Amino acid sequence: MKSKTLTGILSNNIVSPLGFTTEENWQALSAGRSELRCYEHGFDLPEPFCASLLDCDSLDEKCNKLISKDIEKYTKVEKMAILSAADAIVRAGIDPASPEVVFVLSTTKGNVELLQDSRGFAPERAYLWSSAQQVARFFGNPNEPVVVSNACISGCAALVVAQRMLAARRCRYAVVVGADVLSKFVISGFQSFKALSPVLCRPFDGERIGLNLGEAAATVVCARCEDAEGKAGSWLLGGGLCNDANHISAPSRTAEGLVRAFRQAASDLTEEAMQEVAFINAHGTATRYNDDMESVAINRLGLSQVPVNSLKGYFGHTLGAAGVLEVIVSSVELDEGKVLPTRGCITPGTVEQINVCQEITTTNKNLFVKLISGFGGSNAALILAKNGDCMLSFIPAENL
C-alpha cells in the first residue's frame, strides 16, 4: 500500500486530570467521569469558574521517574508535554533523537503566566518556541521543532501540518504534542468575553450558557504510509483548514469556513467513505454561537443524521491540546465500537437539528469526522479511519 498523503498514527497518549495514560482516561470516560469543578477565587480571580485542573503534586510524582533531578528545569506545561510524549514514543518504537523525527507542538498559551511571574526562568521561556525546544531537546532531537498556535484549532492544525510534512518527505516520523495549562491570564481573558459558564457546561443543550476550561497534554506519533503499514492503529485520511475571516471572536453564522475545511478534508476520498462515518466529534464548546454554527455546518454538509458528540463536558476546553486529545479519544471510540454521550446535554437545542449523542451507543462503522473552530475565523476538519483492509476502499485507486 502506498499513498502520498495517507498518514498512519502509530501510538498516542493523554495526560489529563482523568489519568496519565490513554487507557486511564478511557476508563474514566467510559464510567462517565469528569474532573470539572467550580472554583471560588481560583487564580485570585473574583468570579467563580468551572475548570478541570491537573494536580501539580501528582504530575511531579509521575515526572520524577522520567525527568529525575532536572524536574525543576521545566514548567508545568512542559512537564505535561514531555510526560505525554514519552509514553507515546515508547509505544511507537521510534528513536526520538533521530534526525528523521520532527516534533510539532500545538499550544495556544504555553508559558504565558511567566510574563507576570518569571519564577526564576529566563525571559525567553515565556515564548512558545522556547517551550517547543525544551520538549524536543529533552528527547535529544536535533531538529528545529515546529510550533502551531492557531487558537482552538491548533491541535487539528498541527496534525494537518504533520501530514503535509510527511507527504513532502521532510521527515519520516512526526511527534505531535498538544498541551496547555490554565492561569489567571487565560481565565480572565475568557471571562472578559463573557464566554465562561459558572456551572458545568452543557454542549449543544438548549439551556447552555458557556464553556468550561481544562488542562491536558496529548501526543500522537505519525508516520508516512510505508513506515506505518502493519503498525498503525488508525489513519489520518484527510485534513482541511480554512479561515473565513468572519470576526475576531464570533463564528460565522453560515459556517462557511467549517464547511470548506470539511470539503477540503474529504476531497480525496471515495463516495463510499461518507457512508462509513460512525460519528462526528464536534468542537461543542457549549457557547451559544459555536454550537449553533456547528449545527449549521453539519446540516449544510448533509450529515444531520450522523451521531454527534462533544467531549467538553468531560475535559473542559483544553485549548491547544483539544484537537489532539479529542482525535485520540475518538480513535479509541471507533476501535471499541462505541460512541460516547455528550456529557451535560439534557435537551438538545441548536438552530439546526442534529443528532446529538445523549447516551453511549454502539457502531460498526470505520470512520469518524473531527470538526473544530476558533477565534479569528479559524476552522479545521479531519477524517480518520481505524486500521483494516476496508480502509483501502475509502481511497481512490489512483492514490494507492
What pLDDT, on the 0 to 100 scale, is given for residue 390?
A: 66
User: What pLDDT is attached to residue 241?
Assistant: 97
pLDDT at 397: 67
Q: What is the 3-state secondary structure (H, E, C) of 31-72?
A: CCCCCCEEECCHHHCCCCEEEECCCHHHHHHHHHHHHHHHHH
Predicted pLDDT of residue 398: 67
| Rounded distance between C-alpha atoms, residue 134 and residue 22, angstroms | 23
Per residue in 81-116, pLDDT tens?
999 999 999 999 999 999 999 999 999 999 999 999
**Start and end residues for every CATH 3.40.47.10 domain found in the chain:** 7-228, 234-399
Helix (H, G, I), strand (E, B) or coil at 369: strand
Query: What is the number of other CB atoms lying within 10 angstroms of the CB of residue 263?
Result: 14
Q: Which helix (H) or strand (E) holds 264?
A: helix 256-265
Confidence of residue 3 (pLDDT cuts 50, 70, 90): low
Tell me which architecture the domain covering 234-399 has in CATH.
Answer: 3-Layer(aba) Sandwich (3.40)
- Residue at grid coordinates 481560583: 42
Which CATH superfamily groups domain 7-228? Thiolase/Chalcone synthase (3.40.47.10)
What is the C-alpha to C-alpha distance for residues 202 and 214, in angstroms, rounded to an integer?
A: 15
**Is the model's pLDDT at 5 over the cut of 90?**
no
Q: Is 271 a residue whose pLDDT tops 90?
A: no
Quick: pLDDT tens for 162-210.
999 999 999 999 999 999 999 999 999 999 988 999 999 999 999 999 9
Could you tell me if residue 376 is left (phi over 0), alpha (psi between -120 and 50 degrees) or otherwise beta?
left
Beta pairing class for 216-224 and 173-180: antiparallel
Q: What is the pLDDT of residues 312-351, one digit of tens each?
A: 999 999 999 999 999 999 999 999 999 999 999 999 999 9
Instruction: Map residue 176 onto helix, strand or coil.
Output: strand
**Average pLDDT, whole number, for the chain?**
94
pTM: 0.97
C-alpha cell at 48: 467563580
Q: Please give the pLDDT value at position 272.
A: 85
The DSSP bridge pattern shows strands 101-106 and 173-180 to be parallel
